[in-house]
Amino acid sequence: MPLVAELRDVSFVYRQGLVALEHVNLELREGEFVAVAGPNGGGKTTLVRILLGLLRPTSGRALLYGEAAHRFSRRALLGYLAQRSEIGGDAPATVREVVATGRLGRGRLLGPMRPGDRELVDEAIGRVGLAQVAERPLRGLSGGMQQRAYIAKALAGEPSLLVLDEPTTGVDAESQESFAALLTRLHSELGVTIVYVSHEFGAVEQFVERLVLVRRTIVFDGAPGDLPGLWHDPSHVHV
């Protein structure tokens, strides 16, 4: 399968001298569903931000669809749900209004939405099971439903690569499992490449095809079933 993203001997050091990543090599291929896990502070978020071109590596190369990630021009191909996204915040934005912002990268920034855009927004809302609450303020929904709305916002942009950073933080176990099942269905239906980042991977372990464990460097990359039992808690992973 074609390469979506590639990290070649990537290292990253923050200005304070903190080494976040060392000698990371990673390839993501089209259509994969990958979990990136590891302890808090282990470099997971830094890794995905480099992968998406939001940070430049201190050394090494990061490529997106063959282009330097920090100069990648086709940003509309990327869907990114950052940690505990606050889009909408305390503003009285409805689910539909928040999801509609996902079309901004595909069309005009001003003026009414085109019929095709409205159809895609409705479709995205329906895919995540929020059609019945589409006109309700986002802030009034549960954490799990809010995260579904953010997924719909990303889907409305018709991404080829969807990256979710700690998407279920603060969400109860039942909602985490429901969320993982939703991602699996979306992956199957849409064929989108999904990168699911978390400090633990229990909720998606049965769904993902590939697990990447990060603790400053990549300490495991393979099928979840091949991971030694002790390491199913990423806090036990030692470099």
Domains of the chain as residue ranges with CATH: 1-84+166-180+193-239 (3.40.50.300), 88-159 (no CATH)
Phi, psi (rounded to 5 degrees) for 214: -120, 125
Q: What is the pLDDT of residues 132-168, one digit of tens each?
A: 999 999 888 887 888 889 889 988 888 999 998 887 7
Q: Which residues pair with 7 in a beta bridge?
A: 26, 62
The 10s digit of each residue's pLDDT in 190-213 is 889 999 998 766 667 777 889 999
Relative to beta strand 193-198, strand 210-215 is unpaired
Query: Per-residue confidence of the chain (239 residues) as pLDDT tens digits?
Result: 789 999 999 999 998 889 999 999 999 999 999 999 988 889 999 999 999 999 999 999 999 999 999 999 888 889 988 876 544 455 688 999 999 988 876 665 455 667 788 888 999 999 888 999 999 998 888 878 888 898 899 888 889 999 988 877 766 677 777 778 888 888 888 889 999 998 766 667 777 889 999 999 999 999 988 887 645 554 444 43
| Pair 158, 106: CB distance under 8 Å | yes
Sign, CA torsion 217/223/206/26: positive
| Neighbour tally for 162: CB within 10 Å | 23
Q: How far apart are CA 90 and CA 82, in angstroms?
A: 18
What does the radius of gyration of the chain's CA atoms come to, in whole angstroms?
18
Q: How many residues in total does the chain contain?
A: 239
